[in-house]
Amino acid sequence: MRLQYPVVACALVLAAQSALAANIVEEWSQVKAPPAPILTGVTVKAADTALLLLDIEEATCNPTARPRCVEAVPGIATFLARAREAHLPVFYSNTRNGTRETMLKPVAPRDDEPIVKASVNKFFGTQLDELLKAKGIKTVIVCGTTAAGAVLHTATAAAQYGYRIIQPVDCMPAASQYEEQASLWSLINGPATRPVLTPTALPAIRIE
């Protein structure tokens, strides 16, 4: 009889897990979106802040795949011009098949602006952390496409590497508004990013 107790307990656990899984799917349409985050103005120092522009290239930011990314590019380009004028360092990434030439022209890198190549986490398997630390960077402003890819995973990694994160909501586009909302919620509430992340908008960032 003793041998039956583990089997019964295991069956109960599996039944509970199955019920929970069913509830998640069945209740999906009942989920209410949380309140929109409060965006704050923020001042950064050009001497210890970097702008990360992630995967804003032809294959990932185009009218067919992500029209919302295309819509975000003019605002990113305007902020990029401000960043360069203030001598704030800019770092880029591209996808596996991307090159310097495939970056969208309004936000294309200069010859002296580094590019790393990686999947969703731009710190993984690259020299991004070393490049940032060599410049004395303590804060990163994260922009890119897509929100649930490069932005979410690179910002989370940045927090784990000890950086403060400035997250403009107008430069993390995706294929849908839901993806943008879910990614931003995860960044604001994630255990790694929550203590070090400030949600804001590009025009609300002041550079000293």
pLDDT tens across 104-127, in order? 999 999 999 999 999 999 999 999
Percent of the chain with pLDDT over 90: 83
Token pair for 24: 């998640």
Q: Which CATH class is domain 42-207?
A: alpha beta
pTM for the predicted model, two decimal places? 0.89
Domain positions in the chain:
1-31, 42-207
Does position 3 have pLDDT exceeding 50, yes or no?
no
Residue 122: per-residue pLDDT: 98
Q: What count of other Cβ atoms lies within 10 Å of the Cβ of residue 80?
A: 24
Does position 200 have pLDDT exceeding 50, yes or no?
yes
Tens digits of per-residue pLDDT, 159-188? 999 999 999 999 999 999 999 999 999 999
CA atoms of 127 and 123, how far apart (whole Å): 7
Residue 55: per-residue pLDDT: 97
CA atoms of 142 and 154, how far apart (whole Å): 8
What integer is the mean pLDDT of 84-94? Answer: 97
Report helix, strand or coil for 111.
Answer: coil
Beta carbons of 198 and 205 less than 8 angstroms apart: no
Return the half-sphere exposure (C-beta side, CA atoms, 13 A cut-off) of residue 36.
Answer: 7
Token pair for 131: 């490049």
What is the C-alpha radius of gyration for the chain, rounded to an integer number of angstroms? 20
Give residue 13's pLDDT band: very low, low, confident or very high (50, 70, 90). Answer: very low
Give residue 50's pLDDT band: very low, low, confident or very high (50, 70, 90). Answer: very high
Tens digits of per-residue pLDDT, 124-161? 999 999 999 999 999 999 999 999 999 999 999 999 99
Give residue 26's pLDDT band: very low, low, confident or very high (50, 70, 90). Answer: confident
Does position 98 have pLDDT exceeding 60, yes or no?
yes
Residue 24: per-residue pLDDT: 82
Does position 99 have pLDDT exceeding 70, yes or no?
yes
Residue 187: per-residue pLDDT: 98
